[in-house]
Structure 1
């Protein structure tokens, strides 16, 4: 309902206007009546007023002075002016100050007034949607990240830029591949008598579409729920996060193809402490141990299913691994959109293994040389980069002279042995900084550097930034919506 203030100094005219129209049927409620502009302005400063139906000529403060005062103070109410025939110049002035329209009191045409009000209502709905779109999107993004354990939900009584939430909300969730409903189509699911009371937003992330339907009135009747959507009932805005979690759990049941009774024992887990497993897989990939890499991926995906990890986190793991595989083989990754579109846990694994096979062909060409002993050293370094590695030790490992091996390694790989070792260690450090919460000192030790200061110096040399700056840049990248996360 939109709030309307009726301003008219003649009680009989005021009463006639109020009784002549079914305001609620039009989507308005008359929240107050006033006899002059000053009384109306005092009310407007402390109450929400969307429309002012105002006489022009009144004592104390007339309609022209009121509309001018309201606009000067940034009030967004729409004004419809009531005027007599001989006040046309005042009506023109009111339009100049921003009035939506005017009506002649002598020949008050209620159908014309209804038409103006309906026009105003459509404008108000459009302005409401535009005003709420960006701040509400930020709210959805914040709740989404909180649900998936990316960051804590900030508890702030007055969120900057966030309009006051309607009292009630209903959520619909489904696969973005199947949910093609636009906002108007969602509104059409509800009874026609309440459609103008609804605020609808569509949020898409990682292939999961969520539609939010807001209303200040509870239990707006709905005609049907499409088969491709799961829905909550109407609930208070305070229960928004809980309702969303419940629907995402339903997505998880289908994703893992689990019996509901089995799912109920676990629920949607958000902890994803698998960086050690992923690091081991990358080591196998770099060492060209393709069969072992595939087995490790299967084992990791079994672990996800056993833990009933949230769908989004499984897709993120696939995207993260795919990017690492692509980087190590100098190829382009599939991209987030590909993983967002996959429909099941099993399909993600199958697609990731297919991409490993594809990358392996390029990696064999680019990183495996035509010299078996150099290949043996590369495999050893890729697996044991965290150990002490020296050219002397490698020469002994392949039974070659140290000087001869140094020249041969540079000839076959294009890098000095120590450069190759440093690059592998820095790449592993970048992975740990981006995907784990380990302290820099711990990462330094885990990737094979003995002294922290030397690690910091080498990291800056290879990447151009410090480890802390690198980590912060990756966090900033993750906070950016990458795919079609917002549809008005």
Structure 2
């Protein structure tokens, strides 16, 4: 609902205008009244109304001067001027200074007023969409830059903006809003934006805040810019997933406010706290020295290479403890886990699992457990691969390569070149030693991996096919059915796999 300020020095005329139409039905809410131009200008600065209906001839300051000064300081407010029959030159001057229109006081009818309000509402809506589109671009760029800086700086206070960060000034869409509220939670746990709209307007006292949502690495933040001071409390179920709420900050301090809500959610990442949580200021990072962490990481890769799973698990525990003590931002922990996962898969010659399982974790300890399960699965897959090997060293090298690169183009010419063999000779040798031709072997391994992903993940069928090197979805379906007599979707349903997201 748009906000409206009525400026008229004659009380009788003001009351008549107020009773002429149903303002709410027209989409407007009267937020203030003024008797002269000076009072009007003060209220415009304080209330930032969307529309001002303003008399032209008034004491202290006339309507034309109010219009000029307001347009210079608060260009987002629109004006409809009130005039008399013999004041046409004033009305013309008002239009030249940016008024949307004018109304004749002596012959003012409900139809004329509603028509002017409808026109103003359309103009306001068009301008709002344009301003918010520009604001979204500005905020997306700044959020991306701030996210990257925080990821590298850790949980310490936000570092100064570097030269590569966006430096554009605040967009006009944010200028009317002196306040910002910030809500940060795990992605998928907030009320859908469409259902939230009505509750928001009631929460902000009838105001419609400007809402911007930013989602990254399993975390969603909603910013609410408003013209009224928001209430300090927000109701939330005590046992809900964690959400960090900063009810009020100065609009210009939205970056620091966001940082504090991210810190609050990171604290829940480590502690397991639930429900509505307070924001936290930045704290210096602690934990072990970088050299010690590097040595543990080096030892981790060595233990994985030597198939020493228990040692690898112990080293993962040390690294996770160091990150907890240093209060690493949860996205930085997830980025490290993804790096570990890719390295594990490559070293063990296994097809990597979906990143989704790691990125969507909401607990520090839960991510460690998920990563360790991945390591165990890769080792088991590697052991299965070893059991399929032959008495020919070069062919065993090819087989290990196949199992670690199922997502790539695996063809006869390329694999023969991999071990410096003639393609024709390599083809005959491969079939002699394995009992099946190369294409059949590669297809079978891809189908076996596809079966595991169908049963153990909720990854979409199309993505599974792409991840395992099938050229397109139809080819994946035909190949899978040839080996199993079922389509991928039917296999997942028949054998109790996870439902596709």
Q: Judge same fold: TM > 0.5, yes or no.
A: yes
Partner residue, 2:419: 414
What is the CA distance between 1:215 and its match in structure 2? 1.4
Matches of 2:350 and 2:206, distance apart in 1: 50
What is the CA distance between 1:23 and its match in structure 2? 3.0
Are positions 1:217 and 2:232 aligned together? no
Partner residue, 1:144: 147
Structure having greater relative contact order (Cα 8 Å, sep ≥ 6):
1
Aligned pairs for 1:325-474 (under 5 A) are 325-329=344-348, 331-364=350-383, 414=419
Query: Which residue of 233, 254, 261 maps to 2:268?
Result: 254
SS in structure 2 opposite 1:188? Answer: helix
8 Å CA contact 2:348–2:379 kept in 1: the answer is yes
Once the two structures are superposed, residues 133-175 of structure 1 have per-residue CA deviations (whole angstroms, 9 ceiling, x without a partner) of 2212223333333333359442799625744453211122222
8 Å CA contact 1:191–1:223 kept in 2: the answer is no
Unpaired runs of 5+ residues, structure 2, are: 24-28, 34-48, 275-279, 398-414, 422-501
Are positions 1:269 and 2:276 aligned together? no
8 Å CA contact 2:286–2:325 kept in 1: the answer is no
Matches of 2:168 and 2:73, distance apart in 1: 20
Matches of 2:259 and 2:132, distance apart in 1: 25
Q: TM-score, normalised by structure 2?
A: 0.54
Matches of 1:257 and 1:344, distance apart in 2: 8
8 Å CA contact 2:183–2:246 kept in 1: the answer is yes
What is the CA distance between 1:237 and its match in structure 2? 2.9
8 Å CA contact 1:189–1:223 kept in 2: the answer is no
Cα 1:335/1:66, change in 2 over 3 Å: farther
Matches of 2:5 and 2:328, distance apart in 1: 53
Cα 1:135/1:226, change in 2 over 3 Å: farther
SS in structure 1 opposite 2:196? Answer: helix
Matches of 2:194 and 2:378, distance apart in 1: 41
Are positions 1:154 and 2:161 aligned together? yes
8 Å CA contact 2:80–2:102 kept in 1: the answer is yes
Matches of 2:281 and 2:251, distance apart in 1: 28
Once the two structures are superposed, residues 52-81 of structure 1 have per-residue CA deviations (whole angstroms, 9 ceiling, x without a partner) of 325799655865x976x78xxxx8x8x355
Partner residue, 2:79: 52
What is the CA distance between 1:352 and its match in structure 2? 0.6
Partner residue, 2:329: 310
Unpaired runs of 5+ residues, structure 1, are: 85-103, 378-409, 417-488
Partner residue, 1:240: 254
Are positions 1:230 and 2:230 aligned together? no
Cα 1:122/1:105, change in 2 over 3 Å: farther
Task: Give the paired residue count.
Answer: 352
Cα 1:15/1:250, change in 2 over 3 Å: closer
Cα 1:40/1:219, change in 2 over 3 Å: closer
Q: TM-score, normalised by structure 1?
A: 0.55
What is the CA distance between 1:208 and its match in structure 2? 2.0
